[in-house]
Structure 1
Amino acid sequence: MVTDGYPADLTFDNDDTTDQNFTVHLKHQNIQSTEAKTVTETIHYQGAGNQTPADNTAQVTVTRQVSTDTVTGEKTYGSWSADQSFAAVTSPVIKGYTPDQAEIGAQTVSGDASDLDFTVIYTKDAPTKPVNPSQPTMPAKPVNPSQPTTPAKPVQAGQAAATNFVDQRLPQTDETDQQHMTLSGLLLLAMSSVLGLFGMTKRQHKE
């Protein structure tokens, strides 16, 4: 009730011929509440047999205020809270299989969004052909050793080896070694004679 309009000086009587009126003002009561909503992201994985990963699920929550009329039951809604985000999800690595989506990208949702649903399908890899090993290298043909040199025929015992005398000349003088040896011998002989005479003379003086 807002107001009842009842006059302070009003007195009710028993006179049925005269109406006595007053007005009462009423207002509906509203109850305030908070509504929460959960948005779910689900990623399904298929195609890898018993290696197929389990579903990947994640959730975010948004809220808003709700006013409910207690008389009529009518609801009045406020705005949703700030947008929420789902992080990117990398598809699991399975040896021998390739996913059709390497990653489910990041998602942003508001309070009006519905649940998100994705499917990643794995395909078995084709077998790889083994690589043939390279052919071994053939060893090089060995080189034949050179023929040994035939030894010279030995000189017979008692056989004199011939000696070639080379007429060697001194540079610029054009004189042979033999001539020099002859001159040197003569000089030595002359000196010996002089020394001999000198010795004899000295001996005679002493006598």
Structure 2
Amino acid sequence: MSLDTRNAVYAGGFSNPPVAAAHAFRAAMNAMARPGRVQDITGAAPPEGISIAAGSLLLTLCDPETGVYLAPDVDSGDLRGWLAFHTGAPVVPAEQADFALGRWDALTPLNRFLIGTPEYPDRSATLIVETPGFGAPNAVLRGPGIKNTARMQLPELTAFQNNAALYPLGVDFFFTVGSQVAALPRSTQVTAEA
């Protein structure tokens, strides 16, 4: 293992883990509680190839009991080592993942991810979707945590509409870019922006 590889693995964690994790957890929960609303989330300095926001979510939400799927577009030896060192989370196939990370095209099709069971709907995957940015909205959101409506840019609409139709089953989504995160829980109804 080269010195650069070791540095990539050991560096980049939360500088003050209890405080940084609490701030990142609050940002993640605020994003999930208010679908479509962008939150700042920082603290991590992950290996090249993923955003600060995605790294901060991984450090906050993953542990040795949570399997993580790394889509081919983000999977690297540095990221695997960093994730193992800082969280202990095992890298698993998509079908076994509690969390999945990648860009939209690399994460689809969604039907390979866990959607929970009627008895345990919480046993489902959460996808961390790396996006190029939060651009012009193409979707109108309705549901819990939204007063009237919210608007958001989504990579496509049908997949999210189909996912919402599975409720209370289905997967949940975080969208990350730079040091920002927005979320779309499975309970959110999605229609096209007029």
Do the structures match in fold with TM over 0.5?
no
Shorter-normalised TM range: under 0.3
Higher helix share: 2
What TM-score comes out, normalization by structure 1 length?
Answer: 0.15
Structure 1 or 2: more strand by fraction: 1
